[in-house]
């Protein structure tokens, strides 16, 4: 590995930094974008079934907040108090759920734009290293004492940087596409849950 870095020259260092950042983001998103942390199956059904018999306790509310993003959305939907003079309760509750949903969506998309940037920038940085390697080749040929080793240095710099840029870009792009699709799926689930929660809350208020 050290010999490759030496042969690739200084343009390899920005690519190595990109590789470390991309790997860190991929690991972080893979750990945090799990269904159990976003929208556990049957959580909303269990909460709505429980609310038919009794309200949530303080401990249950705190557990929901820390359990998942869906739990936070449920707590948000139950937090707004309806007052007798409030004629726009449904609109207020809908707006509150929508705002919370946007906040959650932003957290789900955390670092994805950075990963997309790394996937796009890595081939360009590799191309920069290729161009610098070609310049080294032409510079060595312009002198009368050109040595084969000088030509080899420029060629290795060009090829190693091109390869490194692609090695970083391809997995980063695949990971970004996968995470993007996963986030879109979670957002749809949360939107459906928000609509169900809104309807359930209105039914609860109507039964009082």
Instruction: Express each pLDDT in 43-52 by its tens digit.
Output: 988 888 887 7
Give me the pLDDT at residue 158, please: 80
Assign 3-state DSSP to the chain and report helix, strand, coil percentages, each to 5.
85, 0, 15
| Predicted confidence (pLDDT) at residue 85 exceeds the cutoff of 80 | no
Mean pLDDT of the residues in the chain: 85
| Predicted confidence (pLDDT) at residue 140 exceeds the cutoff of 70 | no
| Predicted confidence (pLDDT) at residue 148 exceeds the cutoff of 80 | no
Give me the pLDDT at residue 188, please: 94
Report how far Cα 49 is from the mean position of its chain's Cα atoms: 33
Give me the pLDDT at residue 11, please: 79
Instruction: Express each pLDDT in 168-196 by its tens digit.
Output: 999 999 999 999 999 999 999 999 999 98
First to last CA, the chain: 70
Instruction: Express each pLDDT in 53-77 by its tens digit.
Output: 777 788 888 888 888 999 999 888 8
Give me the pLDDT at residue 208, please: 58
Helix (H, G, I), strand (E, B) or coil at 92: helix
Give me the pLDDT at residue 165, please: 92
Percent over 70 (pLDDT), the chain:
84
**Across residues 2-30, what is the average pLDDT?**
86
| Predicted confidence (pLDDT) at residue 116 exceeds the cutoff of 80 | yes
pTM of the model: 0.84
Give the span between the Cα atoms of 116 and 206, in whole angstroms.
47
């Amino acid at each position: 590995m050290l010999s490759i870095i030496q042969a690739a020259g200084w343009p390899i260092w920005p690519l190595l930094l990109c590789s470390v950042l991309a790997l860190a983001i991929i690991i972080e998103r893979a750990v945090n974008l799990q269904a159990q942390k976003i929208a556990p199956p049957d959580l909303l059904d269990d909460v709505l079934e429980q609310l038919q018999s009794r309200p949530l306790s303080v401990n249950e509310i705190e557990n929901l907040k820390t359990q998942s993003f869906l739990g936070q959305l449920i707590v948000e939907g139950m937090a707004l108090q309806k007052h007798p003079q409030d004629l726009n309760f449904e609109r207020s509750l809908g707006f509150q759920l929508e705002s919370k949903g946007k906040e959650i969506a932003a957290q789900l998309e955390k670092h994805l734009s950075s990963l997309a940037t790394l996937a796009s920038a890595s081939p360009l940085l590799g191309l920069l290293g290729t161009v610098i390697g070609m310049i080294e080749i032409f510079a060595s040929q312009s002198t009368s004492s050109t040595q084969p080793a000088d030509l080899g240095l420029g060629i290795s710099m060009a090829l190693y940087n091109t390869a490194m840029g692609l090695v970083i870009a391809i997995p980063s792009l695949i990971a970004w596409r996968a995470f993007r699709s996963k986030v879109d799926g979670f957002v749809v689930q949360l939107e459906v849950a928000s609509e169900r929660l809104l309807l359930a809350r209105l039914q609860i208020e109507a039964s009082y």
